[in-house]
Structure formats: C-alpha cells, structure tokens
Structure 1
Amino acid sequence: MAVQSWIDVLRLSKKTALIHDGIRKIHYLFPDGKEMAEEYDLKTDELIVRKWRHKSTLGGQSSWQVEVGEPPNFAASLDSDGIKESLSNPVFMRKDTKNSFQWRIRNLPYPRDVFSVSVVPSDRCIVIKTSNKKYYKKFSIPDLDRSQLPLDGSALSFTHANNTLIISYKKPNEILTLEQELLKELKKVKGADEGDVDCKTQ
C-alpha cells in the first residue's frame, strides 16, 4: 500500500531527536542524502515546522526549503526595524491543524467573494484566483503526493478575515492514521534534552 511505503521510508531513515523549550525536534537523514527536519509541540503533538534539504549537484548542501511553518524571509522581516516594501506583499505559509492541512496567505485585502479556490485533480494541485486578477497561486499538497492519494474537492474550504485568506483541506483518514503511526515511532526515538550535545540516533 502506498501509505505504508512512506511510513516505511520514515522508519528506515536515520532519526535524531532533541527536546528543547517544549518542542520535540526530529532530524531525518534518508539513504539518498536528503534531510528532513520537523518540530512538534510536546503538549499537543501538533506539527509546527517541516523543512527539507537536498544534496546539491556539487555535493554540498542546499538551503532548507520550508514545507510547514513560517517562511524564513517573513520571520526575518518581522525582526527588522526598518519598514520594508515586501511587508505589503502576500505571504504564503502552511500551518496545519490536527484534522486539516491549512495555508494562510497574509496581505490580501480583497473581499471574500473575489477569491476562487479549487482543486485541479489532473495537476494534483490547488489553485487560488481572484476575479480582480490581483493574485494567483498554484500549490500542491506534498503529503498526499508522498502517499499517492487523490485530491478531493469536497475536502477543500476557505475563509477570509483580517486581510488573510485561510484555506483548509480536510486530512483523509489514511493521512490521520499515518500521522498517528509516525507519532508513535517518534516517541520511541530517545530525545536528548537541551544541553545534551550527544544526540542519540536510532
């Protein structure tokens, strides 16, 4: 089964855990040299961050690509004192809940009825359009791709408030089961506490 094969890939990866400030940080190293880093809230078990890094063609490391969590340039721009023009540009980020994949796009000041959000099954993606032609975005759900699950238009919904478009996609049962299995696996990985330099690897 496809879902099983992704959990097997995760089980076979080399995992290192670190507990820090109420967050469980997991680093995965895959046989092909790819790396994945995740952060979970210890109290709620919710995924806060997931990012990927690949070996570059010259054998070096590429920079981290954020799949879930704040985009790095957005966090950096919040810290700066100077007002940057980019702060008014739309900021796209994914922040999941227990039962849904969720994306937030900040700085979209148009009314809700301007937006159209739809699934394009043939392209395996979700498309956001505005009737005023001011915004267009096409994105996939990597979790569904990895588990080879189809996209379902009825799982999709969206709201708009405070200049932010919030898109939710209800997680299919296969994904919920997979996440539960993975969480059990991750809790078995011995996590070093902050200050322990030697992270135990499974």
Structure 2
Amino acid sequence: MAVPSWLERLRAASKTALVQDGIRKIHYLFEDGKEMAEEYDVKTGVLVSRKWREKNTLGGSGKWQVEVGEPISPLLGALESELIKESSSNPVFMRKDTLSSFQWRIRNLPYPKEVYSVSVEQEQRCCVIRTTNKKHRLPLDAAALSFTHANNTLIITYQKPKEILAAEEQLQKELKKIKVANSGDGDCKTQ
C-alpha cells in the first residue's frame, strides 16, 4: 500500500474551520488520532501558525507542539505554568513562513549581523548558522557531540571540554570564599 501524500492526508482528515479577527482557523483530525490546527491571514493567505498534538499514553489529548508560528507561552496562574522556566533572554527558535518562502527566526540574539554567517550545505541538504563570537576558542571535538529525540524534542548535547570544567571548578571555589550574610534565625535586632 502506498504512503498517502500530504495533500491526500489533508483531504481525508475531518476538518472544521472558522474565521475570527481576520484569521481563518482550521482544525484537522486525522485517522490516526493526530490533530493539526492551522491559522491563515484572511487577506494574504499566509500561514500564521501550525501546531500538532496527539493522544498521550493514557489516551487523553497531549500538549500542542508548534511547527510554524509563535511558541506557546504558558499563561500565568495556569495549571501548566512552571515553577522553574528558561530565561526570557535565551534564544528562541521558530519557523514563520510567507507565501513564497520558508522562514526561520531566532529571537534574543543581541550581537550585530556581522557576527553571524548563514550558509547552505549542499551535501547535507541543510542551512548552517555560524557565529564569530567565540567564548573559549577551543577546537570542537565531534566525539563530544551527541543527540537524542524524546517527546517531540530534539536534544543536542556537547560535553564540556576539560579546560571549561577546570575553569568552572575554580569559579566554584572562589564563590565558596564569599562570605554569606546570615539568613536570619528569627532573632531580629533593632537599633
């Protein structure tokens, strides 16, 4: 049996649509239980967002995974809000397409354009982003690089070089020398 094309999968899916605030919203339910939600600008026809979700191991609806558009930010006070979260100044990678092109955006990159180099690697069929900002000027070791994929997340790990580990160990020794103010034992004295 041939694998259905993308267009055939979309045609076979159960679909609902609505227009709200200039955005056409389409919800797809596929035969395998996966869901896809897309939003298009009504005036331009540009895809604004695309997100996916599938059933979790207990059969309930899983979390939405954004493919195109703004990442989903948890609402403050929501049950899913996290006590510990990434810094808002960390780079954020997202895809945002136009009618005629694919576009990827990386937010929170504070350096000027001259620091970055973007190229196409023909043999690997990929785009590569490089930076001339080098913190440590150490050679890269391919053996230190590994990756895994779990829960719809690609996790790339690069083992820290021994020089970095030694510098961090020295820093921790220095930090331990700093006198810590008494955290208070309930014995508050006034002057």
Tell whether the structures are fold-level matches, with TM greater than 0.5.
Answer: yes
- Aligned pairs for 1:1-202 (under 5 A) are 5-73=5-73, 86-120=87-121, 125-133=126-134
Q: CA deviation at 1:38?
A: 0.3
**Which structure dedicates a bigger proportion of its chain to helix?**
1
Listed as ranges, the gaps of 5+ residues in structure 1 are 78-83, 135-202
| Per-residue deviation, residues 143-188 of structure 1 (Å, max 9, x unmatched) | xxxxxxxxxxxxxxxxxxxxxxxxxxxxxxxxxxxxxxxxxxxxxx
Return the alpha-carbon distance in structure 2 between the equivalents of residues 133 and 127 of structure 1.
16
Return the alpha-carbon distance in structure 2 between the equivalents of residues 22 and 94 of structure 1.
21
Letter in 1 for 2:117: S
Query: Taking structure 1 as the reference length, what is the TM-score of the superposition?
Result: 0.54
Q: CA deviation at 1:56?
A: 1.7
Larger gyration radius, structure 1 or structure 2: 2
Q: CA deviation at 1:120?
A: 4.4
Return the alpha-carbon distance in structure 2 between the equivalents of residues 57 and 122 of structure 1.
38
Return the alpha-carbon distance in structure 2 between the equivalents of residues 124 and 35 of structure 1.
29
- Point out which structure has higher relative CO (alpha carbons under 8 A, 6+ apart): 1
Q: Which moved more, 1:124-133 or 1:32-41?
A: 124-133
Q: CA deviation at 1:124?
A: 5.0
- Corresponding position of 1:177: none
| Per-residue deviation, residues 102-132 of structure 1 (Å, max 9, x unmatched) | 1221211222232122344565543322122
Listed as ranges, the gaps of 5+ residues in structure 2 are 77-84, 136-191
State, as a whole percentage, how many aligned pairs show the same letter: 70
Q: CA RMSD in A?
A: 2.7
Letter in 1 for 2:38: E
Q: CA deviation at 1:85?
A: 7.7
